[in-house]
């Protein structure tokens, strides 16, 4: 086996009174695909900086093979001293470098190369730094949150670029789908130490839960007292993940309800009478449009959003997502059409820029104003320390100033503040930025339990799959279309990737067209007709099979009596549930196609 290109052994690093890294290790061989995971504040970014040679540890050893090209993407790049973004990207690349690659990378990331670094936004600076890291096609690429400030087309392009590269990759990201698609091994940084799993991120969370559960058993065997706040912060993760099973089942039911609403009302032309939905209607937008100069940002869009809906808004940067969100919530008046917001709607919002937190304010005072130890959540009083525990803050952190929190912890604190405010309409603009995976789990659970309606703008595909009942997708030229389900459901219904339709410049949909599609045939194929006719019976059969398997597995003595039968039944149940889900999606797609062709 070839020697690693990069080795970190027994890394020690202390910040003040905190031992951040205590024996951490990292080994990177040629062509490896590693993801580095851990909670916010665990030291992931610091370990990556040590790997890049930017920080000297207090103890331990770093070794990089001579001649190995290592490139690092920081979270906050410094572009000072460069006249243009092109100069920054090409700095230090040496002779013989193909300048066409510079323009290719910058163009894919929405830049020209002529921008003045002094005028860049934080997102533009990050994209420039990403181009610089990719440019030399390095032997080892160290990426710290590369998808931050990227839109969906850019994220999917970056995935393809990284999958095609020959060099090794070490990746920190909060984007689950990105980690699952790119990683082949996982390094978990926890309490200063690292553990390695020789499988990608898709297998990590179950493995982590098993490790923590075994650790808890060992602690109890030694009769050592576990502090309650630590028990909740660390081991509560496993309990939340187990509750996810019911949450996802509930989400499927909500999506089915949204599909039925769309079938009745359509996503463009409203046909339901005003009296029908009573007090359940939250937002009713009809024929709204908005232009800036000659550019149409939103064109003739209609939607009806009901109580309990979780609506995701997605599309490329600059496609009009925030403009649409502001019109739907009454912050911006449309040029044409009208928006009616239901009576008694109380809104709470987390905007993309995040409100500033005064650095010297005590964490608990952010929620209480400093006048008491009580915060009102949903109209009910709670002790602020107890409420902060729900957001994975320890009692010690509740008494600390905001300035000692990491970026992810500050994002978590703002979420706690927004969710504590009385509301029945929650508006979240890029809520997943800077959140670690455990906090994402927590946010998903809280959205699932939220009794009101949620509007969320996000580029996080996995997050949308886990929370959205429908997606408003920016198809291009100001046209938005609603698709039932999450991000993956939207892709399945469109039948193409997120860039294809805009690139093809599809003609504008006629009024009343619920699901615009590009088809050369004006009738359904025999195969599609047959599937539409036979799928309902197959779904009924699968539902009966699933019920029988559930009843069999409900026997508490089955595993002890017949482990093989238990394993077979579990495997059959998983297969039947997957087939039922796929059949439902296929039937829905064909039914909408039939209705479209009939119109």
In tens, the pLDDT along 66-108 reads 999 999 998 888 898 999 999 999 987 877 777 888 989 999 8
Is residue 114 over pLDDT 50? yes
Give the helix/strand (H/E) hosting 98: none
Average pLDDT, the chain: 80
Backbone angles phi, psi at 182, to 5 degrees: -110, -25
Is residue 486 over pLDDT 70? yes
Mean per-residue pLDDT, 218-225: 58
Poorest-confidence range of 211-215, 535-539, 552-556, 593-597? 593-597
Mean per-residue pLDDT, 305-322: 87
Q: Where are the alpha helices (DSSP H) in 91-137?
A: 99-108, 122-134
Cβ–Cβ < 8 Å for 331, 487: no
pLDDT at 575: 83
Q: How far apart are CA 545 and CA 542, in angstroms?
A: 5
- For helices 122-134 and 99-108, the axis angle rounded to 10 degrees is 140
Higher-confidence residue: 187 or 252?
A: 187
Q: How far apart are CA 24 and CA 143, in angstroms?
A: 18
Cβ–Cβ < 8 Å for 410, 366: no
Query: Encoding tokens for residue 312?
Result: 């995701």
CA distances from 116 to 58, 82, 124, 183 (A): 38, 8, 11, 35
Cβ–Cβ < 8 Å for 163, 183: no
Local confidence band at 285 (pLDDT 50, 70, 90 cut-offs): very high
pLDDT at 87: 92
Backbone angles phi, psi at 309, to 5 degrees: -70, 145
With b meaning 16 or more CB within 10 Å and e meaning fewer, what string describes 386-417?
ebbbbbbbbeebbeeebeebebbbbbbbbbbb
Is residue 156 over pLDDT 70? yes
∠ Cα 419 423 427 (to 5°): 70
Local confidence band at 133 (pLDDT 50, 70, 90 cut-offs): very high
Mean per-residue pLDDT, 203-213: 87
Poorest-confidence range of 56-70, 94-108, 515-529? 515-529
- For helices 152-164 and 99-108, the axis angle rounded to 10 degrees is 140
Among residues 481, 79, 488, which one has the least CA distance to residue 269? 481
Higher-confidence residue: 138 or 438?
A: 138
Mean per-residue pLDDT, 310-330: 88
Poorest-confidence range of 35-39, 94-98, 231-235, 553-557? 231-235
- 543-587 pLDDT, tens digit per residue, is 888 878 877 877 767 777 887 887 788 778 878 877 877 777 677
Local confidence band at 159 (pLDDT 50, 70, 90 cut-offs): very high
Q: How far apart are CA 223 and CA 239, in angstroms?
A: 22
Higher-confidence residue: 189 or 513?
A: 189
Number of alpha carbons in the 13 Å side-chain half-sphere of residue 77: 31
pLDDT at 418: 83
Total length of the chain: 599
Q: How does strand 59-64 pair with strand 6-15?
A: antiparallel
Is residue 225 over pLDDT 70? no
pLDDT at 354: 56
Q: How far apart are CA 113 and CA 557, in angstroms?
A: 67
CA distances from 255 to 216, 308, 328, 483 (A): 37, 11, 21, 10
Sketch out the chain's domains with CATH numbers.
6-212 (3.40.50.300), 249-272+280-346+423-511 (3.40.50.300), 351-420 (no CATH), 526-598 (1.10.287.380)
- 397-437 pLDDT, tens digit per residue, is 888 888 888 777 787 888 888 888 888 899 988 888 777 77
pLDDT at 396: 85
Q: How far apart are CA 349 and CA 427, in angstroms?
A: 5
Cβ–Cβ < 8 Å for 336, 289: yes
pLDDT at 562: 82
Higher-confidence residue: 295 or 224?
A: 295
Poorest-confidence range of 123-132, 264-273, 543-552, 590-599? 264-273
Mean per-residue pLDDT, 23-52: 92
Torsion (CA) 50, 51, 53, 54 in degrees, nearest 10: -50
Cβ–Cβ < 8 Å for 472, 267: no
Cα–chain-centroid distance for residue 439? 11
Residue 559: count of CB within 10 angstroms of its CB: 14
pLDDT at 516: 36
pLDDT at 568: 83
pLDDT at 598: 66
Q: Where are the alpha helices (DSSP H) in 266-375?
A: 321-328, 363-368
Residue 86 DSSP label: H
Predicted TM-score (pTM) of the model is: 0.66
Poorest-confidence range of 15-19, 187-191, 481-485, 534-538? 15-19
């Amino acid at each position: 086996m070839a020697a690693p290109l990069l080795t970190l052994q027994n890394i020690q690093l202390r910040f003040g009174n905190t031992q951040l890294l205590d024996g951490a290790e990292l080994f990177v061989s040629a062509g490896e695909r590693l993801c580095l995971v851990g909670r916010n504040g665990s030291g992931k970014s610091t370990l990556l900086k040590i790997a890049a040679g930017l920080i000297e540890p207090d103890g331990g050893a770093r070794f990089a093979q001579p001649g190995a090209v290592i490139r690092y993407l920081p979270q906050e790049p410094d572009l000072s001293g460069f006249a243009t973004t092109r100069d920054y990207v090409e700095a230090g690349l040496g002779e013989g470098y193909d300048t066409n690659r510079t323009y290719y990378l910058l163009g894919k990331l929405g830049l020209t190369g002529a921008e003045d670094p002094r005028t860049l936004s934080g997102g533009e600076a990050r994209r420039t730094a990403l181009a610089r890291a990719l440019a030399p096609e390095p032997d080892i690429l160290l990426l710290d949150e590369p998808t931050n400030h990227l839109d969906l087309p850019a994220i999917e392009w970056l995935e393809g670029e990284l999958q095609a590269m020959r060099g090794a990759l070490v990746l920190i990201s909060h984007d689950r789908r990105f980690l699952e698609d790119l990683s082949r091994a996982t390094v978990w940084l926890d309490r200063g130490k690292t553990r390695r799993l020789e499988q990608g991120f898709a297998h990590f969370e179950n493995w982590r839960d098993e490790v923590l559960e075994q650790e808890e058993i060992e602690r109890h065997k030694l009769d050592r007292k576990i502090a309650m706040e630590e028990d909740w912060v660390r081991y509560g993760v496993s309990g939340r993940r187990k509750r996810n099973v019911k949450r996802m089942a509930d989400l499927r039911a909500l999506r089915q309800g949204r599909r039925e609403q769309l079938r009745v009302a359509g996503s463009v032309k409203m046909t339901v009478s005003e009296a029908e939905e009573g007090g359940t209607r939250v937002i009713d937008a009809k024929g709204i449009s908005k232009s800036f100069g000659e550019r149409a940002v939103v064109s003739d869009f209609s939607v009806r959003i009901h109580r309990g809906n979780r609506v995701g808004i997605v599309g490329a940067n600059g496609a009009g997502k925030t403009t649409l969100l502001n019109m739907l919530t009454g912050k911006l008046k449309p040029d044409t059409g009208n928006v009616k917001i239901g009576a008694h709607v109380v809104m709470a919002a987390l905007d993309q820029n995040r409100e500033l937190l005064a650095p010297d304010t005590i964490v608990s005072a952010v929620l209480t104003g400093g006048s008491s130890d009580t915060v009102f959540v949903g109209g009910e009083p709670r002790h602020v320390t107890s409420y902060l525990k729900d957001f994975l803050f320890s009692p010690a952190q509740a008494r600390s100033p905001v300035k000692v929190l990491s970026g992810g912890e500050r994002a978590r604190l703002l979420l706690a503040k927004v969710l504590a405010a009385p509301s029945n309409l929650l508006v979240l603009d890029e809520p997943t930025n800077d959140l670690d995976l455990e906090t994402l789990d927590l946010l998903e659970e809280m959205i699932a339990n939220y009794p009101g309606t949620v509007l969320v703008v996000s580029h996080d595909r996995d997050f949308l799959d886990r929370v959205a009942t429908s997606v408003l997708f920016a198809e291009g030229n100001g046209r938005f279309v609603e698709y039932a389900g999450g991000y993956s459901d939207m892709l399945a219904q469109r039948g193409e990737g997120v860039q294809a339709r805009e690139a093809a410049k599809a003609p504008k949909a006629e009024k009343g067209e619920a699901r615009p599609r590009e088809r050369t045939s004006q009738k359904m194929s025999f195969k599609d007709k047959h599937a539409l006719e036979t799928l309902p019976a197959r779904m009924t059969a699968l539902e009966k099979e699933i019920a029988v398997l559930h009843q069999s597995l409900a026997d508490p003595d089955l595993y002890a009596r017949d482990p093989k039968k238990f394993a077979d039944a579990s495997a059959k149940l998983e297969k039947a549930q997957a087939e039922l889900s796929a059949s439902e999606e296929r039937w829905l797609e064909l039914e909408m196609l039939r209705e479209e062709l009939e119109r």
